[in-house]
Amino acid sequence: MDEPDFTDLPAGLVKEMLRRTGNLADTILHDLDGLRRDREALRERLEDEVGVGHLDELPEVPLPTACAADGAYAVDRLLGTDLVTAAAVAVEGFSPPRETRRWPEPHHRVHVLSEPHDDATPTMVRALMAQLELAMAAEAPHDLVLLDGAFHTPLLFCGQAAWRAADAPDLASTGLFLDRLEGACAALAAMVEGLPAHRAVVAVPKYTVRREVGQRIDPEGRRDDRSVLSLLLEPGEYTLPVPYADDGLPGEPGWPPSIPVGATRTAEAVVARLRLLKVVYLRPAIELPALRLEIPAPHADDEARLAAILRGVAHQSGAPAVLEPYPLYLADRMVKSLSRALPALRLGATLRVARDYGGPVADIFAALHAYRSEGGR
């Protein structure tokens, strides 16, 4: 674990921050006490209104091979240009017994671009990142593919970029985004429809405010499902599939006319299919919180397919001190390092420019100094 670093903060500010952590502790203590007090009643409602199963009761099915995909982007604002990167990685998980590894090494896709200063750049590059992530998930030769985040997130990113594309037609990232848009939407549509049938793509968001289960067992409550079910479910238990709540989902895309008609129609099909998803919460072990799994309906409604997914996720969740399926953890760690690679890219560019530039060296360092960095996943 990284040590806290207060080196650049005023001492008074640090002391006040530490004093105010008492408020945080009081809030969490109050919430935990309330949940513990209500646990028995909520657990009873959970069993009656939703249903609870156990991994030991699932049909015996072969463990699926599994991988996880995640993406990241970064933008370095230089003096006269932007250094832009977007990348996605896919990492194979623990192999089932006697199974040959299909991806011995992580797979990746990446773009490194030089863009003129433009406020639309982060929006376009974030959508490009989402497209790369979907491409990695679509081409993975595994039975179970885990996506970091919710299924609707890539569509939101692409929708935001679709509206900004007309404002930034000269960006290289805009051209790449538009070229890939229909293919990315088609890939996402197949995933949420559960196609092809022999493989399942499951979304595993770390953070969520959704309450599909909470609306059934505690309609007046404000706690999100993941926090409640982490305390209600015993190790090895899972909730039976419930329909995906469509509140908060993107509406009909209604993308601008500049977007190809085929891409818009495919995006509309994705929105319709998102509403057919099912949600399952699984608590694989006592040291892990409940995991939210967004599962296409054909897989969630088929007992054998659901058993393979849940057993597969549980099998990937056995790494000590890792609070999520192991391949998701590895992919997350890899893409988080993207922004830390930008100084090396700038250094390489600096050396090449210095070799050929005939003016003062100071010009080079001013031009390649990063004045602000942006990024995300």
C-alpha 128/C-alpha 185 separation (Å) is 12
Residue 62 lies in a domain: yes
Q: Which pLDDT score, from 0 to 100, does residue 98 have?
A: 55
61 lies in the same domain as 45: no
The single residue listed with the structure tokens 């001190």 is 321
**Which pTM does this prediction carry?**
0.89
35 lies in the same domain as 86: no
Residue 164 lies in a domain: yes
40 lies in the same domain as 60: no
C-alpha 200/C-alpha 140 separation (Å) is 11
C-alpha 200/C-alpha 59 separation (Å) is 17
Q: Give the helix/strand (H/E) hosting 314.
A: helix 303-315
118 lies in the same domain as 188: yes
Q: Which pLDDT score, from 0 to 100, does residue 332 have?
A: 92
The one-digit pLDDT tens for each residue of the chain (377 residues) are 455 667 778 888 888 888 878 787 787 787 778 778 888 999 999 999 999 999 999 999 999 999 999 999 999 998 888 999 999 999 999 877 556 667 767 889 999 999 999 999 999 999 999 999 999 999 999 999 999 999 999 999 999 999 999 999 999 999 999 999 999 999 999 999 999 999 999 999 988 888 899 999 988 888 889 989 999 999 999 999 999 987 656 556 678 888 988 999 999 899 889 989 999 999 999 989 999 999 999 999 999 999 999 999 999 998 778 889 999 999 999 988 887 777 787 888 878 888 888 888 788 778 877 777 777 76
Number of domains making up the chain:
2
The single residue listed with the structure tokens 């959970």 is 46
The single residue listed with the structure tokens 């409640």 is 228
Q: Residue 327 belongs to a domain with what CATH number?
A: 3.30.2170
Determine phi and psi for 109, rounding to 5 degrees: -140, 145
123 lies in the same domain as 166: yes
Q: Which of 49, 69, 93 is a domain's end point?
A: 49
The residue among 148, 173, 155, 159 whose CA lies nearest residue 88 is 148
Residue span of the structural domain in which 41 resides: 13-49
The single residue listed with the structure tokens 């818009």 is 264
Residues in CB range of 376: below 8 A, 6 or more apart: 72, 73, 122, 126
E-assigned strands of the chain? 52-54, 66-77, 82-92, 107-115, 144-148, 200-204, 237-239, 242-243, 278-283, 291-295, 372-376
What is the DSSP track for 61-122?
A: -PPPPEEEEEEEEEEEE-SSSEEEEEEEEEEE-PPPTTPPPS-SS-EEEEEEEEE---TTHH
Residue 358 lies in a domain: no
- Roughly how many angstroms between the first and final C-alpha of the chain, as a whole number? 21
Residue 367 lies in a domain: no
61 lies in the same domain as 24: no
72 lies in the same domain as 162: yes
Asked if the peptide bond before residue 196 counts as cis, ω within 30 degrees of 0, the response is yes
Residue 369 lies in a domain: no
124 lies in the same domain as 228: yes
23 lies in the same domain as 140: no
195 lies in the same domain as 241: yes
Q: How many helices (H) and strands (E) does the chain have?
A: 12, 11
30 lies in the same domain as 112: no
Amino acid at 45: R
161 lies in the same domain as 310: yes
Residue 41 lies in a domain: yes
Residue 273 lies in a domain: yes
